[in-house]
Amino acid sequence: MAYKKPESALVVLYDQHYRVLLLQRQDDPTFWQSVTGALEEGELPLETAYREVCEEIGIDAKAHGFVVNDHDKQNQYEIRSRWLHRYPPGTVHNTEHVFSLQINSDLPLALTEHLQYEWVSKDEALARLWSPSNKEAVSLFVPSVP
């Protein structure tokens, strides 16, 4: 197995009603999150954001005319011990690039890496998300209901 690069993209998705998309992880059903994934070799963080949205929920954002917003924000966090084996030996921190994307929730989603999804209010998302950096991204970059 090839090791993951300890650099990732986090993409907070919200819809036309300002509801946040939450995804339930297969390997930890208590863990709800936004779209996220490691950068591949030679890939820019924005490219990763578009790729991961397509891979994880089956939406080709560019084909639909949706624009991923780059917030020029990076977080560094300690990788959960249960996932350290996925990274090069001695790696304990990941650098996360933060993005957001508004999509139409009427589009069908095709999950490939998660058990289920839910569209929830911003407040509910903040209460259910596990990752502090994911909570912060929702808080900062999902608009409040007008």
Q: What angle do CA 109, 104, 74 make, to 5 degrees?
A: 85
How many structural domains comprise the chain? Answer: 1
Q: Write out the binding residues for Mg(2+).
A: 52, 56, 113
Q: Is residue 83 part of a domain?
A: yes
Q: Can you give the pTM of this predicted structure?
A: 0.95
Token pair for 117: 């999804």
pLDDT means per 10 residues in the chain (146 residues)? 93 98 93 96 97 98 97 95 93 97 97 96 96 96 90
Which runs of consecutive H residues, i.e. helices, occur in 34-101?
45-57
CA–CA gap between residue 64 and residue 133 (Å, rounded)? 28
CATH at residue 50: 3.90.79.10
Residue type (1 letter), 9? A
Q: Write out the binding residues.
A: 4, 25, 36, 52, 56, 113, 131
The domain containing residue 53 runs over which residues? 7-141
Task: Kindly tell me the number of DSSP H helices and DSSP E strands found in the chain.
Answer: 3, 7
The per-residue DSSP string of 25-48 comes to ESS-TT-EE-EEEEPPTT--HHHH
Q: Write out the binding residues for substrate.
A: 4, 25, 36, 131
**What does the pLDDT read at residue 55?**
97
